[in-house]
DNA sequence: CGACGAGTAGATCAACCGGTCGATATGGCG
DNA sequence: CGCCATATCGACCGGTTGATCTACTCGTCG
């Protein structure tokens, strides 16, 4: 019963789909996923009801992994909320510098799925809210005067950084982002724009 | 010879593709474009060599339009570089509030085209650079100590705002962005994070 | 007039799309 | 052992993809 038993078809499907959707986008064919996972066509429909169900589950699992990564990045940075927040941006700098970085999964999913009723959208919306709360929690601990507002700003910086990283502009976007993040975090008086 | 002559097949193809790719993504079928444009199949291949060529040309034409829009937004704001820069963000606030806003075309294209050799990528890269130079020019006129750096930061805010607008987070992202943009523009001493 | 180029209409192609279905292998239990 | 439920398999479905090709129409200009 160990977790080291050979993963079943469901698990293999999820892993293959997670990999292929990230590398080739949401448009990957079911055939490609099945081939990569070495799973029969029918099993996909038994487990997930169809391609949409598989994609939604892939997104859901990814959000859990990524949220956990945010948490452990922050925990590794110590107890000071300021350090914990900035550690997130340092980690993102590493992420976008990875040679196989292909942009934010969730933004790509939202932009690639034209149907607003697709179950994937609910997953990405929930994910963004979880991350926002994570940031807001640290800002509250820091005694920030407008934690909700600042959290929204930090999330905006995260989105911008991931977008910039995906589109590979020459100037190092991570440093510029970190600078703005520090400003957001260190703003102690509300409404002061300069 | 007036521009009011009925547009030819090439023009109709571009308009239809521009509209359909924005609404349904880069994955739209050639058939759908042909039907919308009321153009024979062969004409597409005569004029653009294939779907990729059509998409690249659609992107190129869009960048020209959008760059012109940036310019006229800034010109309408007067001569003060600060006003001209902030006008861009006010305009973006309007853009993302439009009911049919579906995210940034170019970011969507970059994320949706897995092949890094696709001609569309060169177009989006060039566009981003043109906008960056546009912003940098105003920052220079403003006497900003690090115009290149600040332009990269503003571009990052633009990307973040467009991403946030596309994913519809509850809190109004435009106001938060404008606040950060003001900070970037008004930073007069280099290296000062607060 | 007649030749020409651009455009249209549509058949055809191999590849692929997402989805359905009967057959089969496997494993627990009487 | 025999039996059955379940999980998995892979052939098959109709439709669509992007692309190529032939045949026809039409307006223009020499």
Contact: A156, B161; criterion CB under 8 Å: yes
Helix (H, G, I), strand (E, B) or coil at B108: helix
Sole residue written with tokens 């300021």: A82
Q: Which residues contact B25 (CB under 8 A, 6 or more apart)?
A: A111, A112, A114, B108, B112
Q: What gap in Å lies between CA B77 and CA B91, rounded to an integer? A: 11
Long-range contacts of A69-77 (CB under 8 A, 24+ apart): A70/A131, A70/A134, A71/A134, A74/A134, A74/A138
Q: Which residues contact A72 (CB under 8 A, 6 or more apart)?
A: none
Of B114, B177, B184, the CB nearest to A25: B114
- Whether the pLDDT of residue A153 is over 60: the answer is yes
B46 touches strand C (CB under 7 A): yes
In this prediction, residue A18 carries a pLDDT of: 96
| Over residues A53-64, mean pLDDT | 96
Q: Which nucleotides of C are covered by protein (CB under 7 A)?
A: 6-11, 16-22
pLDDT classification of A168: cutoffs 50, 70, 90? confident
Q: Which nucleotides of D are covered by protein (CB under 7 A)?
A: 7-12, 16-23
Longest dimension (CA), chain B: 60
Give me the phi and psi of B94, to 5 degrees please.
-65, -40
- Whether the CB-CB separation of B22 and B72 falls below 8 Å is answered with no
Angle between helices A51-76 and A41-48 (to 10 degrees): 70
- Whether the pLDDT of residue A71 is over 70: the answer is yes
In this prediction, residue A171 carries a pLDDT of: 74
- Whether the pLDDT of residue A190 is over 60: the answer is no
pLDDT classification of A188: cutoffs 50, 70, 90? confident
Residue A139 CB-half CA count within 13 A? 26
Q: What is the mean pLDDT of chain A?
A: 92
B8 touches strand C (CB under 7 A): yes
A55 touches chain B (CB under 8 A): no
Q: What gap in Å lies between CA A43 and CA A39, rounded to an integer? A: 7
A172: left (phi over 0), alpha (psi -120 to 50) or beta: beta
Per CATH, the number for A56-186 is 1.10.357.10
Q: For an interface test with A, which of B93, B133, B151, B152 has the most A Cβ atoms less than 10 Å from its Cβ? A: B152
Contact: B155, A149; criterion CB under 8 Å: no
> Taking the domains of chain A in order of start, what are their residue ranges?
1-49, 56-186
Interface of A with B in 8-47 (CB under 8 A): 23-25, 27
Look up the protein residue whose alpha carbon has the minimum distance to the C1' of C16.
Answer: A29
In this prediction, residue A2 carries a pLDDT of: 40
Classify residue A67 as exposed, middle or buried by CB count within 10 Å of its CB (0-12, 13-18, 19+): middle
Q: Which residues contact B119 (CB under 8 A, 6 or more apart)?
A: B52, B53, B56
Q: Which fold has domain B1-49?
A: Arc Repressor Mutant, subunit A (1.10.10)
In this prediction, residue A3 carries a pLDDT of: 44
Q: What gap in Å lies between CA B29 and CA B136, rounded to an integer? A: 39
Mean pLDDT per 10-residue interval, chain B, length 194 residues: 66 95 94 94 93 96 98 97 98 95 95 92 96 97 96 97 87 93 86 45
Q: What gap in Å lies between CA B127 and CA B66, rounded to an integer? A: 9
pLDDT classification of A53: cutoffs 50, 70, 90? very high
Contacts of B184 in chain A (CB under 8 A): 180
Contacts of A180 in chain B (CB under 8 A): 153, 156-157, 180, 183-184
Of A112, A164, A182, the CB nearest to B193: A182
Structure tokens at B103: 């995210």
First to last CA, chain A: 60
Q: What is the pLDDT of residues A90-135, one digit of tens each?
A: 999 999 999 999 999 999 999 999 888 899 999 999 999 999 999 9
Q: State the DSSP code for B6.
A: P
* pLDDT > 70 fraction of chain A, expressed in percent and rounded: 93
Q: Which residues contact B101 (CB under 8 A, 6 or more apart)?
A: B95, B165, B166
In this prediction, residue B193 carries a pLDDT of: 44
Per CATH, the number for B59-186 is 1.10.357.10
Q: Which residues contact B159 (CB under 8 A, 6 or more apart)?
A: A159, A160, A163, A164, A167, B104, B107
Interface of B with A in 86-105 (CB under 8 A): 102-103
- Whether the CB-CB separation of B101 and B165 falls below 8 Å is answered with yes
């Amino acid at each position: 019963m160990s977790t080291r038993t050979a993963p079943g078809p469901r698990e293999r499907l999820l892993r293959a789909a997670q990999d292929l959707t990230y590398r080739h986008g949401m448009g990957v064919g079911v055939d490609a996923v099945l081939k990569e996972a070495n799973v029969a066509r029918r099993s996909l429909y038994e487990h997930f009801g169809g391609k949409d169900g598989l994609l939604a589950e892939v997104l859901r699992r990814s959000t859990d992994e990524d949220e956990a990564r945010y948490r452990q990045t922050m925990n590794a940075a110590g107890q000071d909320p300021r350090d914990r927040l900035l550690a997130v941006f340092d980690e993102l700098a590493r992420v976008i510098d990875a040679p196989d970085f292909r942009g934010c999964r969730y933004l790509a999913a939202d932009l690639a799925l034209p149907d607003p009723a697709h179950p994937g959208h609910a997953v990405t919306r929930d994910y963004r809210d979880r991350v926002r709360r994570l940031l807001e929690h640290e800002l509250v601990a820091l005694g920030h005067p407008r934690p909700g507002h600042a959290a929204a700003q930090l999330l905006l910086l995260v989105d911008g950084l991931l977008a910039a990283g995906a589109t590979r502009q020459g100037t190092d976007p991570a440093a510029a982002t970190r600078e703005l993040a520090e400003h957001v975090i260190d703003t102690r008086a509300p409404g002061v724009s300069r």
